[in-house]
């Protein structure tokens, strides 16, 4: 098997020594004196991801999660990497997996070439549904996206009759009810999803959203916290948790989650809003410190004072 030294790698991949050292420090690859052809493939994938500004921490966490979920030694070589926002998914064995959320993604890129096209991926839990139900799920998704809400509701309910443990159908049915403002029904199905799979991150996130709409803020915060505890790099959960804490006047808790959000997703309008909130909260904190300092009362004459000797 051919081997390549570090200078060969830098020349072939057209990267700098500093980049390679940075990937090593970030834990994306192990430091080596020589590299195999397979190593070059892994490094080429890393280069593409970093050129697309995928955070190094997100790459590392996704790789580690995929190793745990799929038992892979090297996910970057054994599966095809697909970017989904600031996270990574892996296409492997005919399925697309988000390893951090422990969910399968319906692979619409593949469906686009054969079955049909959709604007976005629908999430399903890693546990597969009862045999033959995927087609019904896809039909329900299609009805939902076409605005046929009642048809989608009927199809999801049929799915849950056939497979009561199909958590993704609970999530999507809850979301249909959420969009038509039947928040009590939405909460029912989101909670059912958390009971089916206590580690289903998206279920807790969506539950937090509907509880927020119902103005049950303490419960909403608890649901968001659960989502963050299961997936600490779930940026949207940090964002909504920050908003919830702000509504309760818990500014320091809000600040902590705004800062966590920025670390995970630092581009776009939501990141701009988060940065604005951070500035406001920090300015307010500084003002409070200044007010406390202004209220300092010097000791009155005649009172004992400390003297430096």
- Token readout for 90 is 């892996």
Rounded Cα–Cα distance for residues 225 and 298 (Å): 45
Rounded Cα–Cα distance for residues 221 and 240 (Å): 9
Q: Is 105 helix (H, G, I), strand (E, B) or coil?
A: strand
Domain layout of the chain by residue ranges: 1-51, 54-127, 131-231, 236-293
* pLDDT, average across residues 233-239: 82
* pLDDT, average across residues 265-281: 82
- pLDDT above 90: percentage of residues in the chain: 16
Banded model confidence at residue 211, pLDDT cuts 50, 70, 90: very high
Q: Is 92 helix (H, G, I), strand (E, B) or coil?
A: strand
Ranking 124-128, 232-236, 279-283 by mean pLDDT, the lowest is 124-128
Q: Which CATH number fits domain 131-231: 3.30.360.10, 1.25.40.10, 2.40.110.10, 1.20.140.10?
A: 1.25.40.10
For the chain, the 3-state helix, strand and coil shares in percent, each to the nearest 5, are 60, 10, 30
pLDDT attached to residue 186: 94
Q: Which of 218, 226, 242 is nearest to 194 (CA)?
A: 226
Banded model confidence at residue 102, pLDDT cuts 50, 70, 90: low
Question: Residue 141 above 50 pLDDT?
Answer: yes
Rounded Cα–Cα distance for residues 240 and 306 (Å): 50
Question: Residue 280 above 80 pLDDT?
Answer: yes
Question: Residue 297 above 80 pLDDT?
Answer: no
- pLDDT tens, position by position, 47-77: 878 877 788 888 888 888 787 666 677 788 7
pLDDT attached to residue 166: 83
Q: Are 197 and 203 in contact (CB under 8 A)?
A: yes
Question: Residue 126 above 50 pLDDT?
Answer: no
Mean pLDDT of the chain: 77
Q: Could you count the other beta carbons within 10 Å of the beta carbon of residue 83? A: 16
pLDDT attached to residue 123: 34
Q: Are 274 and 242 in contact (CB under 8 A)?
A: yes
- Looking at per-residue pLDDT, the higher value among 22 and 190 belongs to 190
């Amino acid at each position: 098997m051919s081997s390549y030294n570090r200078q060969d790698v830098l020349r072939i991949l057209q990267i700098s020594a500093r980049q390679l050292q940075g990937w090593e420090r970030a834990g994306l690859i192990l430091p080596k004196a020589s590299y195999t052809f397979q190593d070059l493939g892994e490094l080429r994938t890393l280069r593409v991801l970093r050129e697309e500004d995928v955070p190094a921490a997100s790459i590392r966490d996704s790789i580690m999660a995929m190793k745990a979920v799929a038992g892979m030694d090297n996910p970057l070589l054994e599966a095809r990497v697909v970017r989904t926002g600031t996270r990574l998914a892996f296409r492997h064995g005919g399925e697309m997996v988000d390893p951090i959320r422990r969910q399968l993604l319906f692979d619409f890129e593949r469906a686009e070439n054969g079955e049909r096209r959709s604007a976005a991926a629908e999430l399903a839990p890693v546990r597969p549904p009862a045999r033959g139900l995927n087609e019904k799920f896809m039909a329900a998704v299609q009805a939902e996206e076409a605005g046929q809400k009642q048809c989608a509701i009927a199809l999801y309910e049929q799915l849950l009759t056939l497979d009561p443990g199909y958590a993704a159908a609970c999530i999507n049915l809850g979301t249909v009810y959420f969009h038509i403002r039947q928040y009590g029904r939405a909460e029912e199905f989101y909670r059912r999803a958390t009971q089916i799979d206590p580690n289903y991150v998206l279920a807790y996130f969506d539950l937090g959203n509907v509880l927020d709409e119902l103005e049950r803020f303490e419960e909403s915060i608890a649901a968001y916290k659960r989502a963050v505890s299961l997936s600490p790099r779930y940026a949207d959960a940090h964002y909504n948790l920050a908003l919830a804490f702000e509504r309760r006047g818990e500014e320091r808790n809000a600040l902590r989650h705004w800062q966590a959000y920025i670390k995970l997703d630092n581009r776009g309008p939501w990141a701009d809003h988060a940065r604005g909130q951070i500035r406001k909260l920090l300015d307010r904190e500084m003002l409070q410190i200044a007010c406390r300092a202004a209220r300092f009362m010097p000791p009155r004459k005649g009172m004992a004072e400390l003297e430096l000797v």
